[in-house]
Chains A and B, each alone.
Chain A
Amino acid sequence: MSENKKIEFSIEALATAKKIMARYPEGKQKSALIPILHLAQTEFNGWLSAEVMDYVASLLSIKPIEVYEVVTFYSMFNSKPVGKCLIEVCQTSSCWLRGSDEIVAHIKNKLNINVGETSADGMFTLKTVECLGSCGTAPMLQCGADFHENLTVEKVDELLEKLRNKNERSSYLKSMITDR
């Protein structure tokens, strides 16, 4: 998407947004805010700029501040640009007990970035997160909707390689895990 294009959902995304809004009773459309922000984050390069937030506010007929308050509260919303693939490594107890520190250190080394930074090529942003409900398959990381579990240093290398080759923007909504 080019910089000066008007901020607007695609036709499909707009249809989805309308469908989501219909799930809530008359007058309670604000309920759709979080699902629609997820949609917006996927539509607009993985983050929510002020313009995008204002657009979402207008869709739901709410005040922009109501959107800002929500976006900044929830950790899955990015109010700054992120790399193509957002790598989120769990660092809480069960993962830590099974070696998440090494996983984080390895990724930092490999990509030559610190936690919170984006690799020079704009490909990866590294983030540490709290328990993602994958403690039984620790250590783990999330990239988009995908959980990568029982990690080892080798598995991480493989994954980064694969993501780099695929060269696709990660999204919580896209790349669904298929039924097992």
Chain B
Amino acid sequence: MGKKLLLEHINEPGIQSFEVYRKKGGYASVEKALKSMKPDEVTEEVKRSGLRGRGGAGFPTGMKWTFLDRRSEKPRYLVCNADESEPGTFKDRYLMEHLPHLLVEGMITSSYALGAKTSYIYIRGEYMYIVRILEKAIEEAYANGFLGKNILGTDYSLDLYVHPGAGAYICGEETALLESLEGKRGNPRLKPPFPAIAGLYACPTVVNNVETIAAVVPIINIGGDEYAKIGVGKSTGTKLISASGHINKPGVYEIELGIPVEEFIFSDEYCGGIWKDRRLKAVVAGGSSVPILPADLIFTTAKGEPRLMTYESLADGGFATGTMLGSGGFIVMDETASIVENLYTFSRFYHHESCGQCSPCREGTGWLEKILHRLREGHGKKEDVDLLVSVAKNIEGKTICPLGEAAAWPVASAVKHFRKEFEEAAARLQLSAVQKAELATH
């Protein structure tokens, strides 16, 4: 059994309540931080832990925290990104639903480190039922002196609120999230300035993923160095993986970074192998935005080394033969899955979610969807395969925010690794009703 730092008590009856959570050692990190550490020392521990952002980009959290403009006179904000909308990702939902106090505790400890007096949890609107769960946990924390004025008798005060969105994947992008939190359309901002300088209400702001903030709790409890001992190289600690698709045991698993991908897929502790005794065809390892890999490349890198569940190993080989850990949305496809159809669902998704501000993404995502739609329907053309790649290339790197890349990479990689399938789809001519009728009259 791998070490569990986040989900250790998830099966404890009543762990959603303050009482049980506290009994299991909850809120120790708040006590430790507020009573015996200076804010910068908390940041220092997070730096030493090597924790990297769990929202997708993997940016070192401690470093991000040091960028926060502390000289500014303005208030500082911590905003938790609970927008979780990347297809294949559902770990934040699991964590918030079952361990709401872990997130609340992480928010308090992290807000203390950053000197935030007001913090927000921005949660996707579709998770409305979790808003209630979180609000209840927050109420309990207030009632027990962990939130509000003079927490635990110290001079640190904090207010924490939950803020629901209303259905827009783009609000997971941190500056779109801030716009949305300000009551506007979720249009990503042009950067610079970065949120660390001018974020929420143009004040210095840190945006962190739910899991990132939850991980601060064990880091403060056991110390950054201890945390960093888990994992391999620059991939330290544990990570929640959302496993879905054609596997025997879909669900959220906490893994120690560094276990082999093969073990993750086949071990009974995790995915439990491919369903229906079928063979593995392909994996999208880090949420819909990352390149898809065929079975052979997911088990071993192009160099022939076993592929591990780490940021570096998954990325080994770059875009030619590698992928990314991303948000940890692990989608598995068996031998019967159509790569063309799966890609169509992704492209439809990005088309639906583009905010529409910048022309390459606004126009390009729709175009990609249309080409894939006709390939899927059997009205495709031979040229469509290269056209897909070309349109994706024209989007990539030309947009305001990374949604452009997120839409382009899956296309480029799917065609690269499964070109034959696309060519076959293009050759598969399906007769329209009219054509069929014509044939019948002959």
A-side residues, CB < 8 A to B, are: 23, 25, 28, 30-35, 37-38, 60, 62, 66, 69-70, 73-77, 91-94, 96-98, 129-138, 142, 145-147, 172-173, 176-177, 179-180
Contact = CB atoms under 8 A, between A and B. Distances in A.
B127 interface: yes
Nearest to B118: A25
B84 A133 contact: yes
Contacts of B268: none
Given A34-B166, A97-B331, A179-B133, A73 B128 contact: no
Nearest to B203: A25
Contact of A138 (B86, B250, B353): B250
A94 to B, nearest CB: 4
A137 B93 CA distance: 12
B250 A92 contact: no
How many B residues are at the interface, by size bracket? 35 or more
A161 to B, nearest CB: 22
A135 B250 contact: yes
B116 to A, nearest CB: 13
Interface stretch (B1-9, B35-43, B181-189): B181-189
Given A69-B185, A74-B168, A94-B244, 4 more contacts: A38-B164, A93-B88, A130-B169, A135-B244
A70 B87 contact: no
Interface string B315-352: 00000000000000101010001000110011011001
Given A69-B185, A97-B337, A179-B16, A138 B129 contact: no
A94 B128 contact: no
Interface string B155-195: 00001010111111100000000001111111000000000
A93 B331 contact: yes
B345 A92 contact: yes
Nearest to B165: A34
B166 A37 contact: yes
Interface in B263-313: 284, 288
A136 to B, nearest CB: 4
B132 interface: yes
Contact of B125 (A33, A66, A76, A147): A76
B331 A33 contact: no
Tell me the dominant secondary structure on chain B's binding face: mixed
B245 interface: yes
A37 B163 CA distance: 12
Contacts of A60: 183
Given A34-B165, A131-B349, A136-B252, A173 B89 contact: no
B246 interface: yes
4 A-B pairs closest in CB distance: A75-B167, A74-B166, A33-B183, A76-B167
30 contacts: A28-B182, A30-B182, A34-B166, A70-B185, A73-B185, A74-B125, A74-B165, A74-B166, A75-B352, A77-B166, A93-B87, A93-B288, A93-B331, A94-B331, A97-B244, A97-B246, A130-B349, A131-B85, A131-B88, A131-B288, A133-B85, A133-B90, A133-B124, A133-B126, A136-B90, A138-B250, A172-B125, A172-B128, A173-B128, A179-B133
Given A70-B185, A131-B86, A136-B243, A28 B133 contact: no
Nearest to B133: A179
A35 B349 CA distance: 25
Nearest to A175: B129
A96 B242 contact: no
A38 B88 contact: no
A31 B252 contact: no
Contacts of A76: 125-126, 166-167
Interface string B233-246: 00000000011111
Nearest to A27: B201
B31 to A, nearest CB: 26
A48 B126 CA distance: 17
Contacts of B337: 97
Contacts of A66: 183-184
A30 B183 contact: yes
A33 B250 CA distance: 37
A33 B93 CA distance: 24
A85 to B, nearest CB: 16
B132 to A, nearest CB: 5
B129 A34 contact: no
Which residue, A73, A94, A172, has most C-beta atoms of chain B within 10 A?
A94
A94 B88 contact: yes
A154 to B, nearest CB: 20
Contact of B182 (A23, A31, A131): A31
Contacts of A37: 166
Contact of A92 (B181, B252, B349, B355): B349
Given A38-B164, A130-B353, A135 B90 contact: yes
B148 interface: no
B26 interface: no
A179 B99 CA distance: 11
A128 to B, nearest CB: 9
A145 B201 contact: no
B246 A176 contact: no
B402 interface: no
Contacts of B184: 30, 66, 69-70
B223 interface: no
B378 interface: no
A73 B186 contact: yes
B251 interface: yes
Which residue, A30, A135, A145, has most C-beta atoms of chain B within 10 A?
A135
Nearest to A136: B250
